[in-house]
Structure 1
């Protein structure tokens, strides 16, 4: 029965994308079917095979090693402030972003990441029915992050029409940055984090192809590398280290604000209505959780965590999921975990619009105007990925 509900959910979420489509006649069915099949195949490999377990273990061990190195620097600076036996979220989850950001900068400087991004993007463009630029941007977003990725498109930004700009921004919101993947793995099972990264990449193409279909002129589909005065190695390293620290501080500030606001609103709702705000959101999101494959008995609690992610951010929701306040089956933990691994929340609208506006004010204003449609599409990507996992988990 759960498989039937999952298949119905798959069609419902694709249907919700179709309702919002800007040009229903231009939707290309064949690439969408191919990408859904790829999601199912890759998801099955990652979740249910020895090969998948080996790959996930290798990635997880790699990030654990990096987090161990990061801990050396954190302990040196903060010393006795680090709680060895307990867990300080800022120290153990956020500050490692500084070190991983530095590594990304080194790989960028040595042209390793640009090479990987370019050729994976070219391979994906053969499958997804979109342009090379869209495919390049999706891979770059998954590595660099939703604001930093637009720097690599600075020269082309002013020339992009509205429809292509939407797809680029939707990819940025549907993915996550590699600099914080290690942080996610401290709160969620690495298997679900890796699976979400892969599924969201294809899910972003699928939803964008339905909501925002168009043809790309091959002559306009060029990827220009950003050129300028080359930084020295240590200039670059210092810049990426500071950028990583800024990300950690911004996330910490957002968490303080959102957690405090949610606590206040919960108490206000409890006093007036006898139900917390999060529980109320849980009822709103519970039908969607049910369609993703969550049993109805757990759908309200799962919906509450999903809604928390959308109105605040994924870190708050992940902390709620891993905090032990809710008891879920392994299958529901997998579904909800995959849903949480993306930047699809209200604050991301401002982050992406601000990043684009910093590079091109006119295009930044365009992004701000379709901000809610961006969030709608990115949330559907999360629904789609989680539904695929619901179909694959026993």
Structure 2
């Protein structure tokens, strides 16, 4: 038996490649048969599976052709590349002018249809670019290609997702699927905490979502899917914006993972990057959110499709603001020619990867919980102290939110928020900046619930909710880790990865946080320019007028729910 076993092992080793081809052939044939069978039974039901299959086949074939014929493809495009390099001096200004003229013409015609709010958002976008240029580290050294191409990339993504029906439907469908997928965490939460786990909603429902999502991300990373996605998105930004591979890949990685995890993708190259690249790496972390906390915000009732859109649009915005706020003055050492490779998973198998993902989320969940406990307690104390001080001057309603509202009110208005709502959004931006986005989104979810319930808009002169348009802009503006708590986290994590860059990290972190904040604001401006929300109307006013009746009670939630279905 041992001799036969050894012969079988030797045969398998000798013909390993052929055996792998046979196994892959059988699996692919079986999968194709399953897809054909599903489509023949019910094509509409199997259509998503068919789309996923076609996309997978396309990208696999694309990668195969690029790897096999890379030299031929490069030789084919090299004459055009050389010609563009020669003509780039004047061509870049033509492209920039064409972009600006296109946006202005689009705004003029679109404003005629939708109203003047889009012009305010456009003015806000211009204002943020001008402010970043004025306070730039080296204003005379700004390379405008990453700036304008980043804004153009945002604008293109915004049109594809927010204005074109197919793109909107795709992201809306993705949001629904992610929301459904995250609900499977309820099964584990129910088993561990019991049937009444929802009595403690945040601790026993929201935080388990973070654990579940972290597990899934770890599994995708082990399979190489995350590296593939990050590589493709990073390559697109590198080619389109002209940014270096390190900063492009980190910016792409921040769409999927957090600000402390994304630098791990390029960890071997961190000691060799320039100050501008390091600033871009930090800015990318501040301007986006991690996939692990995305599910938590969705569970608050925040729109999944808008959170996804904000994460994607803020990636090029982070590079645009970073290169404007800290231009490149050195020669980058790490290029595509240096054969940049992303780090691989250290897990031995998929089960170990899942276990490591769940275990690694323990610290994240603990940090979220203790930070919220401490921040909310601190906020209550500050509000109480401010109210006491305000009461001395017959202004007992003075609190932290009011102060932040006055500070950030101009910024929120310039994003396109209605003037009546800019005070509320200013307060949310204050919560996000001085505490964290969890506190801000929790407050935003209460405002959304108040609107959906259809209660009184004002109670004792205080506005209880905002318009849908203002809620959408606030969702985009808050979608980032730019806060003082994350500042220390970034400095600590990057210093441990690149100790030789300690001084550069500490010196550029605050500027990176400002750039990340502005990147979120620019994304919100473009969302304000492109978003056309459902008809924003008070149902208890509309229906009595429509049916010429006054029998509907103004606070009837049934009437509001029925009416909202007609306009969403």
How would you bin the TM-score normalised by the shorter chain? over 0.9
State which of 478, 487, 501 in structure 2 corresponds to 1:363: 501
Correspondences of 1:148-167 after superposition (within 5 Å): 148-167=261-280
Q: CA deviation at 1:98?
A: 0.9
For the residue of structure 2 that corresponds to 1:226, the secondary structure is coil
> Which residue does the alignment assign to 1:50?
165
8 Å CA contact 1:339, 1:386 repeated in 2: yes
> Which residue does the alignment assign to 1:4?
119
Q: CA deviation at 1:111?
A: 1.0
**C-alpha distance in structure 1 between counterparts of 2:488 and 2:476, whole Å:** 23
> Which residue does the alignment assign to 2:143?
28
Q: CA-to-partner distance for each residue in 1:369-393, whole Å, 9 max, x for gaps? A: 2221111111111111111111122
State which of 329, 342, 347 in structure 2 corresponds to 1:225: 342
The structure with higher relative contact order (CA 8 Å, sep 6+) is 1
Of residues 361-370 and 333-342 in structure 1, the stretch that sits farther from structure 2 once superposed is: 361-370
Correspondences of 1:112-123 after superposition (within 5 Å): 112-123=225-236
Q: CA deviation at 1:69?
A: 1.6
Larger radius of gyration: 2
| Correspondence 1:191 to 2:305 | yes
* Structure 1, unpaired ranges of 5+: none
> Which residue does the alignment assign to 1:334?
472
Q: CA deviation at 1:126?
A: 0.8
> Which residue does the alignment assign to 1:389?
527
> Which residue does the alignment assign to 1:77?
192
For the residue of structure 2 that corresponds to 1:95, the secondary structure is helix
8 Å CA contact 2:273, 2:333 repeated in 1: no
CA gap of 1:219–1:377, structure 2 versus 1, over 3 A, is closer
Q: Which runs of 4+ in 1 moved over 4 A?
A: 215-219, 227-230
Q: CA deviation at 1:295?
A: 2.1
State which of 369, 375, 383 in structure 2 corresponds to 1:266: 383
Q: CA deviation at 1:184?
A: 1.7
CA gap of 1:141–1:38, structure 2 versus 1, over 3 A, is closer
| Correspondence 1:306 to 2:419 | no
Q: CA deviation at 1:218?
A: 7.0
Q: CA deviation at 1:176?
A: 1.3
> Which residue does the alignment assign to 1:319?
442
**C-alpha distance in structure 1 between counterparts of 2:333 and 2:399, whole Å:** 55
8 Å CA contact 1:310, 1:344 repeated in 2: yes
CA gap of 1:149–1:229, structure 2 versus 1, over 3 A, is closer
> Which residue does the alignment assign to 1:131?
244
Q: Report the TM-score when normalising by structure 2.
A: 0.66
> Which residue does the alignment assign to 1:109?
222
Q: Report the TM-score when normalising by structure 1.
A: 0.93
Q: CA deviation at 1:149?
A: 1.7
> Which residue does the alignment assign to 2:327?
213
**C-alpha distance in structure 2 between counterparts of 1:200 and 1:312, whole Å:** 21
Q: CA deviation at 1:292?
A: 0.8
CA gap of 1:231–1:353, structure 2 versus 1, over 3 A, is farther
CA gap of 1:215–1:136, structure 2 versus 1, over 3 A, is farther
8 Å CA contact 1:313, 1:347 repeated in 2: yes
**C-alpha distance in structure 1 between counterparts of 2:471 and 2:324, whole Å:** 29
| Correspondence 1:200 to 2:314 | yes
**C-alpha distance in structure 2 between counterparts of 1:320 and 1:120, whole Å:** 33
**C-alpha distance in structure 1 between counterparts of 2:474 and 2:186, whole Å:** 29
* Structure 2, unpaired ranges of 5+: 1-115, 451-463, 533-568
> Which residue does the alignment assign to 2:404?
281
Of residues 368-377 and 261-270 in structure 1, the stretch that sits farther from structure 2 once superposed is: 368-377
> Which residue does the alignment assign to 2:515?
377
| Correspondence 1:244 to 2:358 | no
**C-alpha distance in structure 2 between counterparts of 1:225 and 1:189, whole Å:** 32
8 Å CA contact 2:406, 2:426 repeated in 1: yes
**C-alpha distance in structure 1 between counterparts of 2:219 and 2:347, whole Å:** 14
State which of 476, 488, 494 in structure 2 corresponds to 1:350: 488
Q: CA deviation at 1:120?
A: 1.7
Correspondences of 1:142-153 after superposition (within 5 Å): 142-153=255-266
Of residues 37-46 and 292-301 in structure 1, the stretch that sits farther from structure 2 once superposed is: 37-46
8 Å CA contact 2:322, 2:515 repeated in 1: yes
For the residue of structure 1 that corresponds to 2:328, the secondary structure is coil
CA gap of 1:156–1:7, structure 2 versus 1, over 3 A, is same
CA RMSD in angstroms, aligned pairs only: 2.0
State which of 128, 149, 155 in structure 2 corresponds to 1:40: 155
Of residues 264-273 and 40-49 in structure 1, the stretch that sits farther from structure 2 once superposed is: 40-49
**C-alpha distance in structure 2 between counterparts of 1:74 and 1:230, whole Å:** 26
